[in-house]
Structure 1
Amino acid sequence: MIDDQTVNAFDAAAGCGVRLRQAREAAGLTLEAVGQQLHMPVQVVKSLEAEQWDRLGAPVFVRGQLRSYARLLKIDLGDVLEQARIGPVVPPQLISHTHTPRARRIAESLGRRVLYVGITAVLAVPVWFATRGHFDGSANTPNTASLDVIPAAVPVGGGAVPAEATPAAPAPTSATTGTPSAPYLASLTPVPRPAATAAVPTGALNLQFKGDSWVDIAAPDGSTVEKALIKSGEARSFTPGQVGRMVLGNASAVEVQQAGTIVDLSPYQRANVARFTVSSDGSVAPVPH
């Protein structure tokens, strides 16, 4: 018969894993039940009972898992935990990187400068090439002259120059180099005529826009003459009988003249929108309701 002293000696000789397994079996718990209560995988519980410490990670984690298992089974592993070949808990070694050798600092500084110069060159060189052609070609840009203006030295129709005609002037030269300047090229753009020479019909309706205004101008037959946003500074002129109805947005910025007299739009204006009709003689009247 085995006495109590023999059992105590056996318990003292048993390791952590054996004592955990015996306590679990005495409590009637399965490996799965222990794993659920400790929130551990079953393989971890098996490794703890088999003392396979190398499968459980760092020693600090193994010791923590053993203590959690022992608390669950209400046993004390203090006397055998120190004898277990788990390995000491070694604090992590801290390596200071605050000191950087001077040569390394110089190399890093030069590297950043070279990178900056390279990026600047990549961005600046294409811009320089693009603008170089523009500036180089600006000096040789040919002059243009409208086809509406006929030089005195060029005969019309290809005939001979009359004897009394003014002789052709030499080609213009550059004041600095003395070389002939760029030749004149013909342009289809007409020469603008002075506005004062245009004859204003009697009874015409003139609109001067001192601000942007949305207009809806209709002919007497109801067709649209103009419906658009007219910018500030523009002007419109309509002959008598050309317009039958007008709607002017932002009416306070539009000056309407009829036969040279400014028309007061306040009787036709509501919420800065003027609506009025235009008779055949160009006079303005309210829109009939």
Structure 2
Amino acid sequence: MNAFDTAAGCGARLRQAREAAGLTLEAVGQQLHMPVQVVKSLEEEQWQRLGAPVFVRGQLRSYARLLKVDIGEILEQSHIGPIVPPQLVSHTHTPRARRIAESLGRRVLYVGITAVLAVPVWFATRGHFDGTANTPNTASLDVIPAAVPVAGGDTPPAPAPATAESAKPSAPSAPYLASLTPVPRPAAAPAAVGGGLTLQFNGDSWIDITAPDGTTVEKALLKSGETRSFAPGQVARMVLGNASAVEVQQGGTIVDLSPYQRANVARFTVSSDGSVAPVSH
């Protein structure tokens, strides 16, 4: 049996009250803002045409208030149905397998991004974490290790007799790297004739030397140990790179390059008698 069937009696009572009040279906519909067909369905108790029970109850109560009829007891005893809130059904439900796959995909993406960022950093910094076994030793060139015999000097002492301890193979020592400390040379380069200039290079340096007529006398990169000599009047201007590793002599006297030096590059002019002066701007 339909749940609306037990509410019989409400429609007939409302129709009787309407007729007693002298109202037509159209008049009731206008006052309740209902279509005439809905008012007629309420009186004829055709609940199936009116929708959900919650709407039927509301329309019956509105009709009863208009006619000042009490139908509360009849509604309570009826089985029109309780007012149940509508159930919300998700139309975007994601299956569990898909959720798991998306979660794993995000994790794999995070791992991939981390690897892309971390691997280059690890390769760039791995040298700082290597052992010290292969770390080269450094020593100044003016300090000769005791294990290396001095060429042309006294005869080194004879090796000690071999013992059980000395017979054991020793770990290979790391190579020595030369420091940047300049090594004093046993003999100075020959001085230029008269008041000329002599350049002695104790380290790699680049030079740009210009003649009085503006032509280039020499422009090159010179290695440590090389020397250059220039007669008076041969040079008008000099530019020396890595000037701290270049010793300049004028007539056998060392020239102080600090007044002409900036950022380890010395720039100065040379007069016809070989004297040095700052570059005029």
TM-score norm. by structure 2 comes to 0.32
Structure with the bigger RCO (C-alpha within 8 Å, sep 6+) is 2
TM-score norm. by structure 1 comes to 0.32
Give the greater-gyration-radius structure (CA).
2
